[in-house]
Structures are given as C-alpha cells and as structure tokens.
Structure 1
Amino acid sequence: MAKRGGKAGFSEGGQAAYGLASEPREEPMLDRVKLGEGGRLVIPAAMREALGVKPGDEMALEVVDGELRIKSYRAVIREIQAEFNTLVPEGVDVVGDFLRERREEQARADARLDRLNREGMRQKDGSE
C-alpha cells in the first residue's frame, strides 16, 4: 500500500489510461492484478473507466476457454440487441407491430366493456 497525502490506499499512478470503451484500440488492454482475500479482484481505475462502470455497478462474468471475461451490463444488452436484430427481417417494425396489436386488443376490450355497460344499463332501466 502506498501513502498519498498522509492517507493509506492503493496508488494508481503507475497505470496508463486506456481510453473509452467506444474508442477503437490498437493495442490490448492488459494489466497485472493479484487475487485478494475471498477471491476479490480489483479492476484498475482506467479499465473501469474504459468499461463505463463504477463501484457498486453489477457486472456480467463468464468463463470462455479458460479466460474470465468481465462485461458491463450495457455491453451485454448491446450484444443481445445485435443478436436479436439479426433475427428480424429487413423492413419489419417489431415495436410498431407490437404497439398496433396492443392498441387493437385494447380497443376490443373497451368495446366489450362498453357493450356490457349498455346491456347492464338496459337491464337496470327495464327492471325498475
């Protein structure tokens, strides 16, 4: 542990900036870290910044071919969206179709409720 300004803490001054995750990179982002107590792993600040995450954010972890891959949830969502986009034929508006179907379903439900209400009012008027 290094002391900085009289306070104990980890010194991160020796790390190089990695840039933002959206920037294309020529060289891989590599750093050496040590596995701590209870299996804890500290992600260097520059890498957290490049991933767009901060302490407290949830991350997705997977092991692929003996490698631990750590992803932000935003990255996982982008991957899933890209995969689903390959399943939708060109020119199909999935959201528009869904909203149209929901509006039609709501219109049918409203018409049924109106009909039941009218029938109920007729029965009430006829029985008094």
Structure 2
Amino acid sequence: MPQHVVMASNGRLVIPAAVRSELGMQNGGNFIVHVEDGQIHLEPIQAAVARAQAIVRRYVPEGVSLVDELTDDRQREAEGE
C-alpha cells in the first residue's frame, strides 16, 4: 500500500500509523536503511535479523547448535588459561 510521506527540513520522516501497525511497530522501533538504485529502503531490525538467521541456517547441519559449540569453545579456552 503506497503512502505519501513528507520529509521535514531536519531529515525526519513520519512513518504512517497503518504502516507501523502492519510492521508491528506501534511503539517505535529501529530500522536498517540503505539506498539501492536511487531508492531508500527501510527494513525493521527484527526482519533483518530473521533474514540473516535464515541465511546462516542454510549452512548449519540439522541438530547442530552454534550456541552450544560457542559455549563449549569458551569453556575450553577458560580452562586453558
């Protein structure tokens, strides 16, 4: 749903309530912004994290926990000190 948004002279944008509601960001939030082909793209941080997790998940074998591996590595390092 395209929305008309005006940028203030200080660079601030107001994201319309309907868009914030659709994104589940009624109380504010953080975005990643990038410019691509002369267009501004805003991505909620939660969506960016989920996208990154999905990319990493493709390379982690089923049943492997990266958190557990990291914890084990840190414990071994601590024992070696």
What TM bracket, shorter-length normalisation?
0.7 to 0.9
For 2:32 and 2:11, the matched residues in 1 are separated by 16
- Cross-structure match for 1:22: none
Q: Which residue of 1 aligns with 2:66?
A: 94
* TM-score relative to the length of structure 2: 0.73
Q: Which amino acid aligns with 1:43?
A: I
Correspondent of 2:16 among 38, 44, 49? 44
Query: Could you tell me how far 1:106 is from its partner in structure 2?
Result: 3.2
Alignment of 1:59-78 (within 5 A): 59-78=31-50
**Are 1:62 and 1:69, in contact at CA under 8 Å, matched by a contact in 2?**
yes
Deviations, residues 46-99 of structure 1 (Å, cap 9, x unaligned): 1112222234x3321111222211111111111111111122233432112222
Rg larger for: 1
Deviations 1:19-71 (A, max 9, x none): xxxxxxxxxx221222322332211011112222234x332111122221111
Q: Distance in 2 between the 1:38 and 1:62 partners? A: 19
Aligned residues: 80
| Distance in structure 1 (CA, Å) of the matches to 2:67 and 2:10 | 45
Which letter maps to 2:58? T
